Amino acid sequence: MNLEVLMATFSSLEDARAFFVKDRFATENSMTLEALTEDGAVCAMEITDRHMNAEGHLMGGAILALADFTFAVACNNAHRPSVAQQVSLNFLNASKGKKLVSTAFCIKSGRTSCVYRIEIKDDLGREIAQAMFTGFKLA
Whether the pLDDT of residue 8 is over 80: the answer is no
> What pLDDT, on a 0 to 100 scale, did the predictor assign at position 9?
82
Helix (H) or strand (E) holding 137: strand 127-137
Domain 13-137 class, CATH top level: alpha beta
> What pLDDT, on a 0 to 100 scale, did the predictor assign at position 67?
98
Whether the pLDDT of residue 135 is over 80: the answer is yes
Model pLDDT for residues 55-67, shown as the tens digit of each residue: 999 999 999 999 9
Which residues, 6+ apart, have CB-to-CB distance to 24 below 8 Å?
none
Nearest to 91 by CA among 58, 136, 69, 123: 58
Model pLDDT for residues 71-112, shown as the tens digit of each residue: 999 999 988 889 999 999 999 999 999 999 999 999 999 999
pLDDT range class, residue 3, cuts 50, 70, 90? very low
| pTM listed for this prediction | 0.91
Pick left, alpha or beta for residue 50 (phi over 0 → left; psi -120 to 50 → alpha; otherwise beta). Answer: alpha
Q: CA torsion angle for 88, 106, 41, 118 (degrees, to 10)? A: 20
